[in-house]
Amino acid sequence: MNSSFNKLLTFKTLINVLMIIVFSANFLFIERVQALSDSKQIVLDAWALVNEGFYDPEKFNEIQWKKIRQKTLQKQIETSEEAYLAIEEMLRPLEDPYTRILRPKDYELLKSSNFGSEINGVGLQLGEDDDDKKIKVISTLGGSPAEEAGIVSGDFIETVDGISSEELGLANTASKLRGESGTKVLVEISSKSGAIREVDLERRSVDLRPVRTKRLREDSHTIGYLRITQFSESVPKKIEEALQELKEKDVEGLILDLRNNSGGLVSSGIAVADSFLSDRPVVETKNRNGIKDSIISQKETSYDGPMVTLVNKGTASASEILAGSLQDNDRAILMGEQTYGKGLIQSLKSLGEDSGIAITVASYITPKGNNIQGEGITPDKLLDIPDASEYGSSDDKWVKNAELFLESLLEKEEVSSENSELSSEEIKIEVAKD
């Protein structure tokens, strides 16, 4: 009896164990299927976001966009990294380097550069050359390892740690240059002349200091100097504070320095235009439906005195919007050299697991209808003298040229004002005689 009972108990125990094993296996299988579903869902979400927002829907027919989705989803995609690689391959036929997947690290870094005041890396702002699609340096951040190494706007990134930038693409090249402070990265650089050199750069925290200002004293006039290094969320408020500070110092003219400002938040650049333009068009955007939307500045301004804006080949995107609006509205004289020519607007969207995707959603043109993309903005006065190594310093000849121009402008205004006062006095005398 006890033997039979023990056998029955052992059998029941075995059955329970087997059931636990079966259910556990099923549970693990369900989890695995769910994980696979989540990874493919990231791909589907990315496809849908691009399908809904990309600025050139005609491109979809050209590359058979729906078939690309089908082929992509037929692949084995079980991990997040496989999903990111699949999205990169899916986006490649669009031939738009600015529409790209952002892995969690890159997504966080991009958000921190737009909303924060510092970023870890080498201080290079990159773009893709329109002619040969090579990765091109738009600008270097002031005080960064890249600037100290002599890397300049117009240089090309050939390799990063031995991997070709052509193989990496724009997003991955930028990603490999970022990293923890103190770590190093080996970069092969080529210049426009074809000279190639290797540079060993040590990553560190780069203080973006987006707004810098000072007063420039001359013989008879006081000029304000205002430099914007990039357009982050905090910039419009900082500009207001800087202009108020310059007003208190009784500046008579202003030099706005946008050299090597590769952009940032377009909304920030447009908001800064409000500080200088009163109820004037800032920029026109053209969306995927061909609809143009004109953005008008507010009526109240923070500064309405004479201005010179300095631009160079590192001036891009949001800074080109600001420079173009000031030029087209005859608000400021542009001095320097042809700007970079990035006239596309990206929207940043979140994907699963803290990743994101940047999508080109519109193009923009200046108030007078000039297309910025691939063209850039031509200054009113071209400067053929070497650009300064330290912007705003006493050795900065571009700033000196801007100062001289503002002084002559202020002197003309003084003469005109004196003549106007003399004319008023003559009229009073004539009236008295009568």
Which are the catalytic amino acids? 317, 328, 342
Are 278 and 296 in contact by the 8 Å Cβ rule? The answer is no
Q: How many alpha carbons lie under 13 Å from residue 349 in its C-beta half-sphere? A: 22
Are 177 and 185 in contact by the 8 Å Cβ rule? The answer is yes
C-alpha 379/C-alpha 387 separation (Å) is: 15
C-alpha 75/C-alpha 110 separation (Å) is: 29
Token reading at 179: 């990293």
Question: What is the helix (H) or strand (E) element at residue 248, kind and residue range?
Answer: helix 235-248
3-state secondary structure 1-68: CHHHHHHHHHHHHHHHHHHHHHHHHHHHHHHHHHHHHHHHHHHHHHHHHHHHHCCCCHHHHHHCHHHH
For 89, the 3-state DSSP assignment is helix
Burial of 148 (C-beta count, 10 Å sphere; 0-12/13-18/19+): middle
C-alpha 286/C-alpha 365 separation (Å) is: 8
Are 114 and 264 in contact by the 8 Å Cβ rule? The answer is yes
Token reading at 249: 């110092």
Burial of 227 (C-beta count, 10 Å sphere; 0-12/13-18/19+): buried
Token reading at 197: 């050199």
Burial of 143 (C-beta count, 10 Å sphere; 0-12/13-18/19+): middle
Candidates 88, 98, 82; CA nearest to 167 is 88
Q: How many alpha carbons lie under 13 Å from residue 96 in its C-beta half-sphere? A: 28
Are 184 and 203 in contact by the 8 Å Cβ rule? The answer is yes
Length of the chain counted residue by residue = 434
